[in-house]
Amino acid sequence: MSLSVDVFWSFRSPYSYLVTSKLRALQEDFDVTVNMRPVYPLAVRSEGFFTKADPLFIPYLMRDIRRLAEFHGLPLQWPRPDPVVINRETLNGAPEQPHLDLLMPLGVVAGHKPEGVAFYDEVSRLIWSGEDMPWNEGDKLQRAIARAGLDMATLQAEADAAGDAIAAEIEANQEAHRASGHWGVPTMVFEGEPFFGQDRFDLLVWRLKQHGLTARG
């Protein structure tokens, strides 16, 4: 029987980006279904989070993500533009979020398709690799989605037709995320057990193997 893992994931999380290629390879190589469940970034869903954080939080974060990217052999730069429009006075997300308004519905629709993990891998690489900035210009996003085997126009049409249902699904994702036992991303959940952070990926695989994880083919 195929195993199943839920992944609570954010377009603004560098750690989400850093684990996604591993999740893609896991699903491609092993008999496991990876369910990508997008949630809003902390700056949007947790008002005041960054103003309450220790002043050392951001400097350590930047150092950590750069060395992790180097360790894993992945390119990384802070996105331009930032997926979240920030109010610089409050450090909270601004009322208008054009990038999330585009990305989140596409992510919800893609997440229900067999190519869902590939979508998140290709799109997060576009946003975070720094190789083709600004990431939102021209047909860059369309081409990233095509590399995942999907069509952006088709995804957009499906998203437009299911607006209320998509909003409800995102809210359900956020509730299920907290119910799993953590609030941060990426949080990978198997059989009700949360594995928070890209550095818990190997621990997740260890647990999956205890439950009979087998190679495909």
Helices of type H across the chain: 14-29, 42-45, 49-52, 57-72, 98-111, 116-128, 140-147, 152-161, 163-180, 201-210
The answer to whether 195 and 204 have CB atoms below 8 angstroms apart is: yes
pTM: 0.95
Query: Does residue 172 carry a pLDDT above 70?
Result: yes
Domains and their CATH numbers in the chain:
3-210 (3.40.30.10)
Model pLDDT for residues 67-124, shown as the tens digit of each residue:
999 999 999 999 999 999 988 777 678 889 999 999 999 999 999 999 999 999 999 9
